[in-house]
Structure 1
Amino acid sequence: MKQQYEQILVTPKPFVKWAGGKRQLIPILHQNLPGAFGTYYEPFLGGGALLFHILTDKNGQKCSISDLNSDLVLAYTTIRDRIDALISSLKSHEKNYQKDSKSYYYSVRESNPRNEVEKTSRLIFLNRTCFNGLYRVNSKGKFNVPLGKYTNPNIVNEENIRAVSSILQTNRISIKCRDFESVLRDAKKGDLVYFDPPYQPVSSTANFTSYTTKDFTYDDLTRLAELCLKLDSKECHVLLSNSDSKEVSDIFAKKPWKITRIEVNRSINSNSKKRTGHFELLIKNY
């Protein structure tokens, strides 16, 4: 029992590095949360930085989280339900990686395990060892990022994933694999819906939108904007993160939206000099 208590004392953090992850923006996001809200919804879950912050800050908070990436959703449920088997599998990856990192990495990248624990273990292993910790799949749905240059990557990170498992078990959280529009059926007056979709490109070369095999297009952004208005008419609190692009500014230019421009660092840019001096938008209706 003592061990379980100690696990929860460790503040859970995202167990995967995700493009557009929000860990560094938590203080700003926290300031922009409504004072009180019902259920917390996050339909583009990704690394879940804000989710873990809210769960740590508000014990017993009811949450409904989802993503269209089925491997990612499986990872959350596996960490919640099968933590010991997952840690054992990750330790095995770590051991084999230390023997011959290059050939082992590419053999795991090529593999396609059917077992749920092995699938999640593969996702975490690749995320920890691939170039810049970037999750990306090609049009056929195959993970296609090369090996990263790490001397000693933290593949298992047991303390954190046990903390994640504990907090997912102790709180009232539902985890689903579904399209973001499904949230409209469930969200009620006073609930908070946070959208952190793949961002609109700010330039012709900045077109990373493929977390899943289906790109997040301008049409999807329009769908999202319409959904936000529907949620607003249901008197839900709506909070949205997106790129500082003309398309996003234009589509959310009118009431009820309030737009704040915030400075961010990009931890996933391969050129460290290009990681600073970026801006993104925070949009809300309250």
Structure 2
Amino acid sequence: MDILGHEKIVNFFDKVLENGRFGHAYLFVGPESLGKKAVAMQIASKLLNSSVENLHKEFGFSFVEQEIDQKTGKTKKGISIDQIRDLINFLSQKSFVKGYKIAIINNAHKMSSITSNALLKTLEEPKGETVLFLITENLDELPSTIISRCQIVHFEPIEQDIIFNYLLELKIDKEKAKEIAELSLGLPGKAIDFVENSGKFDFYKKEIERFESMFGKPFYEKRACVEEIFGNKTDHIAQRDEIRHILSVWQFILSSFLKNACSVKSGLTYDSYIKLNDSISEAKNLISFNIHPRLLIENILLLIP
């Protein structure tokens, strides 16, 4: 598994591993597709003297994330209390083989307050050589009781040139590599997704075009632009996750407006940028709750000049 960028973080954990002074819980924070999980998996493989590919076979490794309901095929609402109880049981088991026990909780913000509370004692009183990696996009979606018991590691988007050069190494056409590197906005996982799945690349470009097209339009036209977003009426959890992804695209494009001095062209002042950005952030946080996505989206549309 290739790690693009994040040299300081990787080097930090290499030194910690060399000194044998690992903390018991780390909270990796940053946008989706930035490489947080890849870094956690790499660290886990080093701690267990394994490879990333073989981690799932290791006795001392556990990976927890939101699951698909096997009966309905729909995405479960979040990480369940049973999953966390199984994890706690795994971490508390004694082993004849000495060494670390590593757990990764991907998208830890998908834990409910009850589920998070069940994990607290393990975070407070870890047994043996236990290391937990919690991964999230947003600290605001985690309880302060969880945050305070972890060492926080912030991940930032990487330089576009790093992604571009990596794509060239994969023998991607130069013009295509340039386009992918630009649209990935510093997210290496996003760039790799674009290479492996042209449908995702087309989806991303479509959302950029959708967002840009709504500036300067009356509200009823903006609302018509987003109507198809609400098309999935069978799996509401998956629909909300997809809308969260769309909002992330909008937010990145909004930030690029400011960086590239496009605000005049779009009619966006600094104050209106702040309000619009805050509205998108709030919608991303609230969409996991029982608030209708349409209401959240329409509040955003009202702030697009």
Bigger proportion of residues as helix: 2
Task: Report the TM range for the smaller structure's normalisation.
Answer: 0.3 to 0.5
Q: Larger relative CO (CA 8 A, sep 6+): 1 or 2?
A: 1
Which structure: larger Rg?
2
Bigger proportion of residues as strand: 1
Q: Provide the TM-score with structure 2 as the length reference.
A: 0.32
